[in-house]
Amino acid sequence: MKKYIALGCAIVLTIQFTGCDSIQKTIQEKKAIQEQKEREKNAVPEEEQAAFKEFTKELFKTEVQSDGITYNYTLNHPENYGITDYKQSLGDFGVDATKEKMAFAENVNKKLDNFVYSALTKEQQITYDALRSCYQVADDDEDYILYAEVLGSTTGIQAELPILFSEYNIDDKTDLDNYLDLLLCVEDYFSQIEKFEQQKSDAGLFMPDNNVDGIVSQCEDFIENPEENLLITIFSSKIKEYDWLTDAEKKKYEKKNKEEVLTSVIPAYQGLIDTLKRLKGTGTYEGGIGNLPNGKTYYEKLAKNTTGSDKSIKEMKQALASTMNIAISEVSKLSAANSKLSDEFYNLKFSLTDPNEILDYLTEAVKDDFPALEKVNYTVKYVDKSLENHVSPAFYLSPQLDNYKNNSIYINGASNTDMSKIFPTLAHEGYPGHLLQTVYDKQHNSDPIRSILNFGGYSEGWATYCENYSYNIAGLSKDLGKFAEFYTIFDLCLYAQIDIGVNYDCWSKNDLAKYLRGFGIEDEDTVDKIFNIVTDDPANYLQYVIGYIEFIELRKQAKEILGKDYTPLKFHTYVLDVGEAPFSSLKEHMKEWIDN
């Protein structure tokens, strides 16, 4: 699926060539520069803008049909976007499919070369920047195809599919038939993943045993009670509400859904379990991916891709250390002034514990500092018990582009979820985090292609920024709110540093234990848990923390330029107006925004 295929960001290599090849290259470069100058000189803005609009329209149509999940989660009425015929599929996955996607990306980049950037509107220039970033392919990316991993105990495709299927948008018989067709695709899609994992094993690139155990555990929990599988029980509950079906049709569809879950989905998960168990032990490395041949280079690619930041790993380390030191300093100052703050924080319980009440409160509380939305609906749901041990405390599902008024936020109601502490989590997932950012973008961004471009550093960095903001509007004392904000920042930076330490600097579990002892953490089970988390999903923490730091740097830049004219509302409006994009684009367009 497109969502789970990450194309590496470009790496600039300085290579010294000699002889005729070098001369020929110089001639070609000069020719290209001259041709570009001629295009800029002769460009007619109206024509360039119309051509670019048509280009992104066709690109959107192609990409939105890449797989049935993307198709359904993006559009409610595809016919309004010129899409009238679509065959359901979960897409293709594997080495050959990835090479085809890379070739497609290179073709997109070549087409972008034909546009005169300066002749585009400001909004189109931002879209152009986003496309350049998303479709950039480095010369050596093919060498790292087998380093990729789509499985993971929490964020892997096999862990997210049950939620994506249970929330599949069904409004008529066509949607219903499409859904059932997709269920039949799971076995084939998983067989492609199994083949890929076998290739990784053959190449000595298979995952460590601990990762296998986590993924197998998630799959086994999901299929433990086949007859009561959530895809059967949830479907049976939802179909009762489809008043456009007769009672006889409801029974027919309910029976068909159960048959397909039992004969396609469950066997697919069992097949994946069997394959992973068979391959367990064939990995040639333990710990982080930096231990692989050229693993550090791959992690560098992964870090740039997940964060959307231009920072090198060295610069990320410096930014994390600086941010952590500031947080420690602020926490120390607050503690020195009030020795009770630490105990108050560790025993912190927010007064609001009902998710709907919290979201209603946040909707009103953020109005002064964040731009308003048209009224939208949100439904708070609880994850199925078979998934409680393998999903986050809460998560937000992005609505369809043309049906953005209906939103879903999931709460993990596991026994270890303390609802008195969920306030900042809902600020992250709801207002002013993911829900506000996503819906604002769909309400204001006129180009559909932007809705399917993924910039994890922007989206998760924004949500983390909003989570930390929420401590100061939660009804806490001013000092306790600041203490909670800075302690949370410290904690996030700690995890991000561990992510880099384990996956890039190749820390062993003993190295991690020694590092954590410096912060008073000595529990062996905690060390094991953290080690497994960061090796299971390398660079995942970076999109949250480096993304957050990039927003803090942007805010500082805005304050320096605007001075007394700065307001949080102005800054947040700018960030949301630009929308998901690489941070270089946000920085570049900041000056234009301020001048206007």
What is the Cα–Cα distance from 267 to 262, expressed in whole angstroms?
7
What is the Cα–Cα distance from 229 to 234, expressed in whole angstroms?
9
Structure tokens at 369: 């500092």
Same domain, 325 and 440: no
What was the pLDDT predicted at 37? 65
Taking CA atoms, 591 is separated from 113, 459, 595, in Å, by: 25, 22, 6
Question: Is residue 308 within 8 Å of 548, Cβ to Cβ?
Answer: no
What is the Cα–Cα distance from 431 to 425, expressed in whole angstroms?
10
Model confidence at 19: pLDDT above 90: no
What was the pLDDT predicted at 347? 92
**3-state SS assignment for residue 407:** strand
Model confidence at 165: pLDDT above 80: yes
Asked whether residue 434 is assigned to any structural domain, the reply reads: yes
Number of residues that this document lists for the chain: 596
Taking residues 101-130, what's their average pLDDT?
94
Asked whether residue 473 is assigned to any structural domain, the reply reads: no
Asked whether residue 442 is assigned to any structural domain, the reply reads: yes
Taking residues 353-359, what's their average pLDDT?
93
Cα torsion 389, 391, 392, 396: sign: negative
Same domain, 198 and 94: no
What is the Cα–Cα distance from 534 to 520, expressed in whole angstroms?
20
* 166-200 residue pLDDT tens: 999 999 999 999 999 999 999 999 999 999 999 99
- What total number of domains does the chain contain? 4
Structure tokens at 572: 């947040």
What is the Cα–Cα distance from 269 to 264, expressed in whole angstroms?
9
Same domain, 336 and 367: no
Asked whether residue 372 is assigned to any structural domain, the reply reads: yes
Using alpha carbons, select from 160, 60, 88 the residue that is nearest to residue 390.
160
Look-up of token digits 């207002």 = 431
Same domain, 411 and 394: yes
What was the pLDDT predicted at 32? 57
What was the pLDDT predicted at 374? 85
- Looking at the chain, the whole-number percentage of residues with pLDDT higher than 90 is 81
Same domain, 240 and 177: yes
Model confidence at 3: pLDDT above 50: no
Question: Is residue 208 within 8 Å of 292, Cβ to Cβ?
Answer: no
Please report which helix (H) or strand (E) contains residue 402, including its range: none
The residue from 262, 284, 306 where one domain ends is: 284
What was the pLDDT predicted at 402? 93
What was the pLDDT predicted at 389? 79
What was the pLDDT predicted at 418? 81
Same domain, 214 and 250: yes
Asked whether residue 594 is assigned to any structural domain, the reply reads: no
Asked whether residue 559 is assigned to any structural domain, the reply reads: no
Question: What is the DSSP track for 159-197?
Answer: HHHHHHHHT----SHHHHHHHHHHHTTHHHHHHHHHHHH
Per mean pLDDT, which range of 142-156, 366-380, 582-596 is the poorest? 582-596
Taking residues 283-307, what's their average pLDDT?
94
Question: 74 or 7: which carries more pLDDT confidence?
Answer: 74
pLDDT band at 383 (very low <50, low <70, confident <90, very high): confident
* 133-157 residue pLDDT tens: 999 999 899 999 999 999 998 889 9
Please report which helix (H) or strand (E) contains residue 357, including its range: helix 355-365
What is the Cα–Cα distance from 45 to 490, expressed in whole angstroms?
48
* 518-565 residue pLDDT tens: 999 999 999 999 999 999 999 999 999 999 999 999 999 999 988 999
Asked whether residue 122 is assigned to any structural domain, the reply reads: yes
Same domain, 382 and 462: yes
Same domain, 79 and 196: no
Look-up of token digits 């599929």 = 89
Question: 515 or 17: which carries more pLDDT confidence?
Answer: 515
Residue 172: phi and psi, rounded to 5, are -160, -175
Residue 379: phi and psi, rounded to 5, are -120, 130
* 393-429 residue pLDDT tens: 888 999 999 999 889 999 887 756 788 889 999 999 9
Same domain, 205 and 125: no
Taking CA atoms, 246 is separated from 176, 240, 256, in Å, by: 14, 10, 15
Instruction: Give the list of residues 6+ apart from residue 575 with CB closer than 8 angstroms, or none.
Output: 462, 551, 554, 586
The residue from 511, 542, 573 where one domain ends is: 542
What was the pLDDT predicted at 561? 87
Mean pLDDT taken over the chain: 90
What was the pLDDT predicted at 30? 53
Using alpha carbons, select from 538, 590, 582, 555 the residue that is nearest to residue 313.
538
Question: Is residue 431 within 8 Å of 467, Cβ to Cβ?
Answer: no
What is the Cα–Cα distance from 110 to 386, expressed in whole angstroms?
46
pLDDT band at 31 (very low <50, low <70, confident <90, very high): low
What is the Cα–Cα distance from 175 to 179, expressed in whole angstroms?
6
Q: How far apart are the first and last CA of the chain?
A: 40
Taking residues 461-472, what's their average pLDDT?
97
* 70-88 residue pLDDT tens: 999 999 999 999 998 888 8
Model confidence at 99: pLDDT above 70: yes
Domain that holds residue 6: 2-145
Asked whether residue 489 is assigned to any structural domain, the reply reads: yes
Same domain, 140 and 181: no
Same domain, 243 and 328: no
Same domain, 441 and 491: no
